[in-house]
Structure 1
Amino acid sequence: MNSTSTVAPNHVNIINFIRGVEPREPIDLLEPVKEQLALVQKHGLRATWLLQYDALIQPAFTDLLHREANASQEIGVWFEVVQPLAEKAGIPWRGRFAWDWHAHIAFSVGYAPQERERMADVLMEDFRQAFGHYPQSVGSWFLDAHLLGYLWDNYRIVASCNCKDQWGTDGYTLWGGYYNQAYYPSRRNGFMPAQTAEGQIPVPVFRMLGSDPIYQYDAKLGGNGQSVITLEPVYSGEEGGGGIPEWVRWFFDVNFRSEQVSFGYAQVGQENSFGWALMKDGLIDQVELLAAKQAEGALTVQTLAESGRWFRRQYPVTPAASICALSDWRNEGRQSVWYNNRFYRMNLLNNGGELSIRDIHLFDENYEERYLQDVCPDRNSHYDTLPVVDSARWSDERVSAGIRPVAFDKEGRELPIAVRAIDTDESTDGELALRIHLEDERTLHIRCSEQGVGFAADWPDWGLRLLWGDTPELPEVKLEQAGIAYAFNGHPYRIGTEGAWPPILLTGGARGAGNGIELRAAGSELKLRLS
């Protein structure tokens, strides 16, 4: 199963990125790299090693990789700005330390486009001097579209990777993107999936870290942004994380199914600045499990570049993808289904019998990122897409935001809907079918396709209700005869409604404005058109 030509639907990248300095506390940065390399090679697994510039110019790291890494290991670049890189590119250093993790110092968005190009040239040429070729993979917590396009146009990189969705963690917000798997970014926005081959950078960007598909989305906010519930082996909170063997096995089960809309994916690994002691137990457990799963034929472990080449061979534009977590490792009765395609993403949540669509974000390759030409002014960087419903950002102490199916009696009063079970069918290429079995034996059918989300009920007098709280993140909303018009961050967009009566604004918001929209079905089927 090591062949890069495999048609197995589940792909894993082991990506360990390597920093050359950790200013916050003394730590051995070389030991984790030695141990990680020995671990993956002991199990005969392929892996990708992404060098930050300060590690690239230290012989201790490059000599280790030259000496110990076998031919199945990929060496690439982790693009964060450090003092020696900036200064070699002729850019005055503004950081507090030789590596400063604040967004306007460490990341490409903190620099003018021409400065980004100069640093990329230095990094790529010094990498070539060290390894005899240009890197094929360049990763970062986030890369702007100008730099991604430059790396493709001038160096023909084949793959990139960026951070999971998160709100404000370490000052970085990436919100509303492909929840997992990979996408081709827009030429105007490195976080936004493009809709057309002409409008995309032909470098697949893989989402890192492995977000919990149930709990990460609305993870609690604190002084450092959202908490982290991911596959990273250093995390083991009460809601889950990669340091908990039971959670890891559940995560693998829900991500690496034999049936997929396109393919399943996860990134395994850890940055060396956490130190070997913190990551050791969790990483050893995950790598051993990966080796066993690959031997069973359940997944294929590839380098990031191999996955990038496979993706480009398979998909001329971004494919649809899904994650179906129909079990809850905490046994609290929650189920979560994510569906993504190049036009939108959607998340359906069953919260102990209460059904809601808690998230829909539209994708538009013409929505320009904030940093395409401008410079991020401070530590709080922000990437986003176009919200249709966003429970995590639109809920308040009174209202849990979301789109919920509703039934009505003959007098028009709302009747309760309680979910008993959810079945999924991912056998139709690019589409996801859901059967929602209710406690009273009725059934709601939901089909997700590139065009939108369709609903079909086997009872009369039903509809959808979109609710939101009194929160500052709301876009402008305006009702139309057969749709809803939005404007967010100055960008207009709309969704269409088919098989419904004209939408009705629900009133009662804290500011005297509407706090929701009701869509009454005109028959047995109703569709939200999202492309």
Structure 2
Amino acid sequence: MNNTAALYPNRVNIINFIRGFEPREPIDLLEPVREQLALVRKHGLPATWLLQYDALIDPAFADLLLREADETQEIGVWFEVVQPLADKAGVPWRGRYAWDWHAHIAFTVGYTPPEREKLADALMEEFRARFGAYPQSVGSWFLDAHTLAYLSDKYGIVASCNCKDQWGTDGYTLWGGYYNQAYYPSRRNGFMPAQTEAGQIPVPVFRMLGSDPIYQYDARLGGNGQSVITLEPVYSGDEGGGGIPEWVRWFYEVNFRPEQVSFGYTQVGQENSFGWAAMKEGLTDQVELLAAARTEGKLRVETLADSGRWFRRRYPLTPASSISALTDWRDEGRQSVWFYNRYYRLNLLNNNGEIRIRDIHLFDECYEERYLRETCPDRYSRYDTLPVVDSALWSVGEGAAGIAPVLYDDEGKEAPLSARSMETDESVPGELTILIRLDGEEELRIRCAERSVSFISERPSWGLRLSWGETAELPGIKLSPGAIDYTYHGHSYRVHSTARMTAVSNGIDFRADGRELTLRF
């Protein structure tokens, strides 16, 4: 175990958030909370309980927590807008039901900035009246930057959490962000990691739900957006999920490796509106595994607020983090490595020998979110960052977008490249090196540094190819001397390259001048 992992171990938050209404079907909303509380107390584990306003004002929920939760349990708020909160804040209610999950109704983005402040004030004051102090943690599937900064500046919250990356699930798109762990958001964009202390909200935002690092990115699209392959115990489909014991054990192994760029993290728990019967088996299994891993010293289980305080003491700026899924729970020959810091994120996939960078997104604290000043007009909300490579959204048919290494034979023709395996090295602070062992004795190294990605090959003649399909999500892309210029949602950005670049049909060829090729952001 390296020194970083020993000093700053893997961390887990058990976060269960609590709704007071469920208009879609009759269900006992109190039973899951009672059973979840009994489960964590049985194993002596701390947990965080985030109350939506309708549950906050219902004595059945608040009294249960006041009566049964000891000092190891944290009580905070889940910030979705419900009719009683809107009424309390004097904000017009437009929902179909007392809780309406559509983005422009349930979330702060559906309200003007002054209305968001009124809603926040009403929520925080009600919490203080019930529990005697303001909450330290505020969670939501997504919070706009104005509201998050307001909660930080006025109420001094120390931690927040938001939804995993997903495309269109339940109408919510969050795409291109910090894939896991935590980041300090920009004051202009609640989804965007900031680059400077002056530009950031000093509240770490932890990514929830635990996404499958191999398969969630390319999860199938349907009428409700992407399917869900996460640690949530109610999901147990063929693709994977938190209700499948084999998948859970693989996920824990992948996320809580002894070697980490900074620290490993995941969130365990489930919202009560799924009902206890649906989550009981999977959640019980996960909590038992956590308790055993904690006893063995493999991870630390703590409240969201405690993680937030630790993060703020340790990191003045967003640290680099990673996930290295070097085994495939399906045994289909795939490996996936994620690296991200406050400047960019990158994902490399080994698809049974075929190597491809399927994702690079840049982070810029000046890229303003859509809802900083305006309201979300309908149920389809969207948060994103700045795409450089996006296989999930730029691929057409069988042609996969991305950046692939290319070898050339003596006549300059492309020769196939086949990988036998990938390994990672986290020994340099803040960096990640990926070692790709090719057929034969050759190797390809990819070094992810603070503002660059370098490719080092032993071959004298090689390069990269960036490919894309003509899709609606493709940004403006054009070559400049020594750089690629992008335009996305009115924002311009640039990637520099040490290679000789040539535009080809739906792509760019990068020809290495020597054994190293570097992209700088």
TM-score (norm. length: structure 2): 0.98
Task: Using the TM superposition, give the Cα deviation of residue 23 of structure 1 relative to its aligned residue in structure 2, in angstroms.
Answer: 0.2
CA contact (8 A) 1:79 1:140 kept: yes
1:198 aligned onto 2:189: no
From 500, 523, 526, the counterpart of 2:517: 526
2:517 counterpart letter in structure 1: L
CA contact (8 A) 2:163 2:209 kept: yes
- Render the CA deviation track for 1:395-416: whole Å, top value 9, x for unaligned: 0014210100001112211000
1:523 counterpart letter in structure 2: G
2: CA distance, partners of 1:90 / 1:56 = 18
1:258 aligned onto 2:265: no
Match of 1:90 in 2: 90
Task: Using the TM superposition, give the Cα deviation of residue 192 of structure 1 relative to its aligned residue in structure 2, in angstroms.
Answer: 0.2
2: CA distance, partners of 1:489 / 1:160 = 27
Match of 2:332 in 1: 332
1:120 counterpart letter in structure 2: A
1: CA distance, partners of 2:67 / 2:397 = 58
Match of 1:399 in 2: 399
1:190 counterpart letter in structure 2: G
1: CA distance, partners of 2:441 / 2:91 = 67
Match of 2:127 in 1: 127
2: CA distance, partners of 1:479 / 1:146 = 36
From 503, 506, 511, the counterpart of 1:505: 503
Task: Using the TM superposition, give the Cα deviation of residue 434 of structure 1 relative to its aligned residue in structure 2, in angstroms.
Answer: 1.0
Match of 2:317 in 1: 317
1:35 aligned onto 2:26: no
1: CA distance, partners of 2:31 / 2:286 = 19
2: CA distance, partners of 1:92 / 1:404 = 52
1:267 counterpart letter in structure 2: Q
- Render the CA deviation track for 1:377-420: whole Å, top value 9, x for unaligned: 00000000000000000000142101000011122110000000
1:76 aligned onto 2:76: yes
For structure 1, the residue ranges without an aligned partner over 5 or more in a row are: 1-5, 508-514
Corresponding pairs, count: 516
1:301 aligned onto 2:301: yes
CA contact (8 A) 2:15 2:269 kept: yes
1: CA distance, partners of 2:437 / 2:35 = 49
1:290 counterpart letter in structure 2: L
Match of 1:105 in 2: 105
CA contact (8 A) 1:8 1:299 kept: no
1: CA distance, partners of 2:239 / 2:83 = 37
Task: Using the TM superposition, give the Cα deviation of residue 470 of structure 1 relative to its aligned residue in structure 2, in angstroms.
Answer: 1.9
2:33 counterpart letter in structure 1: V
SS of equivalent residue, structure 1 residue 364: coil
CA contact (8 A) 1:444 1:458 kept: yes
Task: Using the TM superposition, give the Cα deviation of residue 441 of structure 1 relative to its aligned residue in structure 2, in angstroms.
Answer: 1.7
2: CA distance, partners of 1:8 / 1:484 = 38
1:252-401 to structure 2, matched below 5 A, reads: 252-401=252-401
SS of equivalent residue, structure 1 residue 526: strand
1: CA distance, partners of 2:458 / 2:58 = 66
CA contact (8 A) 1:233 1:282 kept: yes
- Render the CA deviation track for 1:9-28: whole Å, top value 9, x for unaligned: 20000000000000000000
Match of 2:172 in 1: 172
2: CA distance, partners of 1:391 / 1:490 = 21
- Render the CA deviation track for 1:62-86: whole Å, top value 9, x for unaligned: 0000000011000000000000000
2:68 counterpart letter in structure 1: E
Match of 2:458 in 1: 458
CA contact (8 A) 1:243 1:282 kept: yes
1:207 counterpart letter in structure 2: R
CA contact (8 A) 1:15 1:49 kept: yes
CA contact (8 A) 2:8 2:262 kept: no
Match of 1:12 in 2: 12
CA contact (8 A) 2:348 2:356 kept: yes
2: CA distance, partners of 1:452 / 1:80 = 38
2: CA distance, partners of 1:233 / 1:48 = 17
Identity %: 73
CA contact (8 A) 1:398 1:469 kept: no
2: CA distance, partners of 1:449 / 1:78 = 36
CA RMSD in angstroms comes to 0.7
2: CA distance, partners of 1:222 / 1:330 = 22
1: CA distance, partners of 2:128 / 2:428 = 44
SS of equivalent residue, structure 1 residue 407: strand
Match of 1:45 in 2: 45
1:517 aligned onto 2:515: no
1:392 counterpart letter in structure 2: A
**Runs (4+) off by over 4 Å:** none
2:99 counterpart letter in structure 1: W
1: CA distance, partners of 2:333 / 2:286 = 26
CA contact (8 A) 2:431 2:450 kept: yes
2: CA distance, partners of 1:474 / 1:360 = 13
2: CA distance, partners of 1:215 / 1:343 = 24
1:524 counterpart letter in structure 2: R
2: CA distance, partners of 1:232 / 1:279 = 8
Task: Using the TM superposition, give the Cα deviation of residue 440 of structure 1 relative to its aligned residue in structure 2, in angstroms.
Answer: 2.1
2: CA distance, partners of 1:281 / 1:171 = 29
1:430-445 to structure 2, matched below 5 A, reads: 430-445=430-445
2: CA distance, partners of 1:278 / 1:146 = 36
